[in-house]
Amino acid sequence: MMRCLITLRDSVAMERAMGALAKYRYTADGESVAPEGHPREWSHWLLEINSAEFNAINDHVEAGDIVEMKPSTSSQTVV
């Protein structure tokens, strides 16, 4: 499955995306979503997710929340 790197606008956008992703992964019986800390404390708001996870968050973020989306070349989650 293709992985992509999503850049989000700010901490509020990240919270919305992570909330949707947490629900998706919970229902898909996946792994933990968020790293330690709170999105407002981070300096970058990046998610490395696959296309199914992107579809899960896409309906829950607002227009303008996703700043950039590009194919990922690594296999590690970036936050």
Among candidate residues 37, 55, 49, 42, the one with its CA nearest the CA of residue 76: 49
Tell me the residue type at 62: E
Q: What angle do CA 12, 16, 59 make, to 5 degrees?
A: 135
Q: Are 68 and 9 in contact (CB under 8 A)?
A: no
DSSP state of 47: E
Provide the 8-state DSSP code for 36: S
Mean of pLDDT values over 40-52: 76
State the pLDDT confidence band at 58, using cuts at 50, 70 and 90.
confident
pTM score, two decimals? Answer: 0.58
Q: How far is CA 15 from the centre of its chain?
A: 9
Structure confidence at residue 37 as a pLDDT band (50, 70, 90):
low
